Amino acid sequence: TLAAQQHATLERWLDDKTLKSRQMKEYVMLPNNKGEEQKVAIIPDGYVHLDTARGPRHHFLEADLRTMIGMSSKSGRRDWARKIRAYLAYKDSGLFAERYGAHSFRVLTVTTGQRRLENLKRITEESGGHARFWFTTFDQLTPETVLLAPIWQIAGRERQHALLHQTNSEES
């Protein structure tokens, strides 16, 4: 939309197929329930680099279609909690900075409904994830709302936020 174009420029987009390729796939080591290190792949559904008035913004995208359980008691099982720990380890490892030339990123998750959003947000918070992890639902997400409307809920915070901030004159 025109409003979005005035606030951000798309610098780079990578889809899930590209991110799953051998050249792009990244791994971190996470302890399993037995305390043993386990190799875990970082494979988001997308990556977007936006250039904004406040500087570059890097985002990984997760489209949650309820195919992954929230938290598993089984060691090594793919679940949402492990995905959050993997993203945190990815940032801490320096691998993200090395590949993308930046030091920070957000993980934007779009899910099927408010109840699922609240569950994923709670699991994220319990897994050590906070302001880096943002959530919304498919029914709230449109080209007109994605950047400037307060449709995003942030782990560790209560109210909804816009992905990009508007200046005071634009809010009135």
pLDDT of residue 56: 94
Q: Which of 4-8, 48-52, 159-163 has the lowest mean pLDDT?
A: 4-8
* pLDDT tens-digit map of 120-159: 999 999 999 999 999 999 999 999 999 999 999 999 999 9
Q: What letter does residue 129 receive in the DSSP assignment?
A: -
Residues in the chain: 172
Phi-psi group of 128: left, alpha or beta (phi > 0 → left; psi -120 to 50 → alpha; rest → beta): left
* pLDDT tens-digit map of 68-106: 555 544 555 568 999 999 999 999 999 999 999 999 999
**Whole-prediction pTM:** 0.86
DSSP string, 58-119: EEEEEE--S-S-S--SSTT---HHHHHHHHHHHHHHTHHHHHHS-S--EEEEEES-HHHHHH
Three-class DSSP category at 13: strand
